[in-house]
Amino acid sequence: MHIPEFDIYTPGAEPGWRKTRSEMAFENSHVSVERAWYTTPNRKDEVPWMVVQRKAAVAVIPVLEDGRFVMVHQERLPVMQTMWEFPAGQIDTEVTRESIIHTVLNELREECGCVLNNDHGALEPLGWYFPSQGFTDEVVYLFTAKPVCVVSRPEPDGSEHISDVRFVSAGELRGMIAANAITNALTLALYARIAAQGLP
């Protein structure tokens, strides 16, 4: 498959930023907490901050041939809710264009049973966003996948539970957002990007 060109986020690329020192407060295979000190473009004295470190992730809008979007109804334990979302997942290896694309394709298959159309399916990069930049360094890469074909039932990994898959039109998606039926950042971020590009 063709790997589209897109930028990868580089921490500290903006001039004037520097992490001067850090110490680990907590660490496991999913998350770590670091106490770090920074100098910034506007502050030359060290500024201390607690940073939750998480793996980079992807989120993708699957689009059917008829233009409808594929959404999944996924349990989210920290907030004790089942939420309508677009497929998403963490990148478990070094972050490269290839690993990002590999994760997108895996999440499409696992979470909503979709694959790209063999003849003319393509992934379109939509940049990245920070889901909670005040306390975590997590970055999420955004994509559309179109057109996709549904080839199987969802097969989420052992820690996930997906209860339903739904096909929604652009109008239905807007209505769900307006009615506060969609409250998760990754779905709102994806919607914002496609709306800014002229979603009907």
- With residue 106 as reference, give the H or E element that holds it: helix 97-112
pLDDT per position in the chain (200 positions), as tens?
A: 667 889 999 988 899 999 999 999 999 988 999 999 999 999 999 999 999 999 999 999 999 999 999 999 999 999 999 999 999 999 999 999 999 999 999 999 999 999 999 888 999 999 999 999 999 999 999 999 999 999 988 776 767 788 889 999 999 999 999 999 999 999 999 999 999 998 76
SS3 assignment, position 70: strand
Nearest alpha-carbon partner for 86 in 105, 100, 72: 72
Residue 124: is it exposed, middle or buried by C-beta count within 10 angstroms (0-12/13-18/19+)? middle
How high is the pLDDT of residue 170? 94
* Residue range 101-150, pLDDT digits in tens: 999 999 999 999 999 998 889 999 999 999 999 999 999 999 999 999 99
Q: Which phi and psi (to 5°) does residue 2 adopt?
A: -70, 130
What is residue 9's predicted lDDT score, i.e. its pLDDT? Answer: 95
Q: How far apart are CA 105 and CA 145, in angstroms?
A: 9
Q: How would CATH label the architecture of 57-196?
A: Alpha-Beta Complex (3.90)
Which 3 state secondary structure label does DSSP give 170? Answer: helix
Peptide bond into 147 cis (omega under 30): yes
pLDDT at 181: 95
* Stated pTM of the model: 0.93
Cα–Cα–Cα angle for 176, 179, 185, nearest 5°? 65
DSSP-assigned beta bridge partners for residue 37: 21, 48
Instruction: Give the angle 182-188-139 at the CA atoms, nearest 5°.
Output: 130
CA dihedral in degrees (97, 102, 103, 106; nearest 10)?
Answer: 160
